[in-house]
Amino acid sequence: RLGRGSDNQVLKMNGTSLNWETVTAGLWTQIGNYRASSEESGVTFSSLGVDLDNDYSKIVLIMTGKSAGAFNGGFYLNAVSSGAKYDYTQIVNDSTTVAGSVINENVINVLPTGLVDGSDNYFNIQLEITFSGIDDEFMYQWSAGAAHEGNIIGAGKSTLASSGDEIDTINVSFGANWRAGTQINLYKVAI
């Protein structure tokens, strides 16, 4: 019989017996979560302090919800909302067309205008942010969609608003409200 382990330990097999071991690199750690209690159009995760080149391989944001009206939606990372802009390619697959475009904007637009075209549309987003290998730059990729309409995928890069290879703030900003119950989970993934 094996007694209980300590905080932050997991049960593992070492080849001959079961052991309690401290959590090691490679696991996801939740660094933010949000569940809307009313209709809202934006939320900010701050003081994240994730050093991508030294400690973590990526940040993953997963959002699911229901719209309160037609909208577009996107993200600002580390307050990069003007000046230093986001460069990315996106491919939209709606109910009638598949179209790709190269974009330079002040927001990572993961739900472009038209994809959510009314209220009570279910939508989902997964955004991954990784260090590019170049000082103060990060890469990102995402997939998103509205259940009744279509999907979008994309990838790009941006420069941090301040030096340090650290993601400290993620702002979620939509053009109209989402319903109560919409949720976001934010994780950092160790190297």
Q: Cβ contacts of residue 16 below 8 Å, gap of 6+?
A: none
Does 82 have pLDDT greater than 80? Answer: no
pLDDT at 152: 93
Pairing outcome for strands 71-77 and 170-178? antiparallel
The answer to pTM > 0.85 is: no
β-sheet bridge partners, residue 179: none
User: Of 156, 163, 149, which Cα lies nearest the Cα of 128?
Assistant: 156
User: Rounded mean pLDDT of the chain?
Assistant: 87
Decide if 186 contacts 45 (C-beta within 8 A): yes
Residues whose CB is less than 8 angstroms from the CB of residue 175 and which lie 6 or more positions away in sequence, other chains included: 41, 71, 72, 73, 113
Q: Which two tokens mark 51?
A: 């050093």
Residue with tokens 């301040």: 162
pLDDT above 70: residue 164? no
Please name the amino acid found at residue 148: H
pLDDT at 143: 96
